[in-house]
């Protein structure tokens, strides 16, 4: 299923490839930098224990409201207007920290996400969008999140808390040298020391991790370690589509296990050419 929201750096284009690289066996699935949750919503919920985490408090509040109060949230969103004036007003109200309910804050934040350019929360998109068209997605997300634990923790604390030999951590951190795109309303930025701290934390866990990153020398050097697998891939660069249609963004998928183990265990299909020649003599 699709996510109910767009998000900067969302993994809509890579979700199928990422899920195909999950290990064959795990019991706990933890999304460390949840964002739009495209991988979580795409994976089969199965019987594993699932955790969604993000350090953006407004985003976590939105997820909680979608899980617990979807119809109250949609009621708040019914009559919002798609205009620059209302977009700027919603941003100002979120930044003011005035007294509002969690549902009201979630509705304001969802309005800003949906009406901003490239879901970056900073500028009005100036594009037509029917808010009511999102309501079926919110209902689907409500059902999918019913048994998901929603956390609001620093990544290191979260990883330490949920680490077990049967844990799988999927991490999609703010990309190196593009951290400014991820600095949202009321949140501090991700620093170079945070990239290093994430590396040190992941390399010390008992469980397994799968990490998606932009492809640059800093990231490659960070994870150039024995036992770490680095796979090159690309995805559509959505930010450049207006000026350069079809532009691709180079990415890395990094893991502390063989990311192709699931594919290697798939039974191959026999053909006539699999038999020895003398079988037909």
What's the pLDDT score for residue 86?
94
Could you confirm whether domain 8-55+153-281 is CATH 3.40.50.150? yes
pLDDT higher than threshold 70 for residue 63? yes
The model carries a pTM of 0.86
Question: What is the location of CATH 3.40.50.150 in the chain?
Answer: 8-55+153-281
pLDDT in tens, 107-159: 999 999 999 987 788 889 888 999 999 999 999 999 999 999 999 999 999 99
Confidence of residue 7 (pLDDT cuts 50, 70, 90): confident
What's the pLDDT score for residue 65?
98
C-alpha dist (Å) from residue 264 to 21, 125, 209, 270, 278: 11, 44, 19, 15, 29
The mean pLDDT value for 6-35 works out to 91
The CATH number of the structural domain formed by 58-142 is 1.10.1020
pLDDT in tens, 226-273: 999 999 998 765 555 556 566 667 899 999 999 998 877 765 544 444
Place of tokens 């949202």: 184
pLDDT in tens, 83-107: 999 999 999 999 987 789 999 999 9
The mean pLDDT value for 49-54 works out to 97
State the Cα–Cα distance between residues 26 and 20, nearest whole angstrom: 14
State the Cα–Cα distance between residues 5 and 89, nearest whole angstrom: 20
Question: Which DSSP string do the residues of the chain spell out, in sequence order?
Answer: ---SS--TT--TTTHHHHHHTS-S--SEEEESS-TT-HHHHHS--TTSEEEEE-S-HHHHHHHHHHHH-HHHHHHHHTT---SHHHHHHHHHHHHHT-S--HHHHHHHHHHHHHHBGGG-SSSB------GGGGHHHHHHHHHHTTT-EEE---HHHHHHHH--TTEEEEE-PPPTT-GGGG--TT-PPP-HHHHHHHHHHHTT-SSEEEEEEE--HHHHHHT--TT-EEEEEEEE-GGGTTTSTT-EEEEEEEESS-TTHHHHTSPPPP-GGGS-GGGG-
Q: What is the mean pLDDT of the chain?
A: 87
CB 53 within 8 A of CB 34: yes
């Amino acid at each position: 299923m699709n996510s109910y929201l767009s998000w900067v750096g969302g993994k809509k284009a890579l979700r199928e490839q990422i899920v195909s690289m999950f290990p064959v066996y795990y019991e706990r699935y933890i999304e460390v930098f949840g964002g739009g949750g495209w991988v979580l919503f795409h994976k089969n919920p199965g019987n594993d224990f699932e955790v969604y985490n993000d350090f953006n408090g407004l985003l976590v509040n939105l997820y909680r409201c979608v899980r617990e109060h979807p119809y109250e949230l949609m009621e708040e969103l019914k009559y919002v207007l798609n205009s620059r004036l209302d977009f700027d007003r919603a941003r100002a109200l979120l930044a003011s920290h005035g007294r509002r309910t969690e549902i009201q804050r979630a509705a304001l934040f969802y309005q800003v996400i949906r009406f901003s350019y490239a879901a970056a929360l900073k500028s009005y998109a100036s594009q037509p969008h029917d808010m009511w068209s999102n309501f079926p997605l919110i209902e689907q997300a409500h059902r999918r999140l019913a048994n998901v634990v929603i956390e609001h923790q620093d990544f290191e604390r979260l990883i330490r808390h949920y680490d077990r030999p049967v844990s799988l951590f999927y991490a999609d951190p703010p990309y190196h040298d593009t951290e400014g795109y991820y600095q949202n309303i009321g949140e501090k930025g991700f620093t170079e020391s945070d990239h290093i701290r994430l590396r040190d934390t992941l390399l010390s866990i008992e469980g397994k991790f799968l990490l998606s990153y932009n492809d640059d020398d800093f990231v490659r050097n960070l994870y150039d370690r024995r036992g770490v697998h680095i796979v090159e891939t690309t995805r559509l660069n959505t930010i450049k589509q207006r000026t350069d249609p079809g532009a691709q963004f180079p990415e890395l998928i990094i893991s502390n296990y063989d990311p192709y183990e699931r594919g290697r265990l798939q039974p191959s299909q026999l053909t006539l050419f699999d038999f020895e020649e003398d079988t037909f003599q």
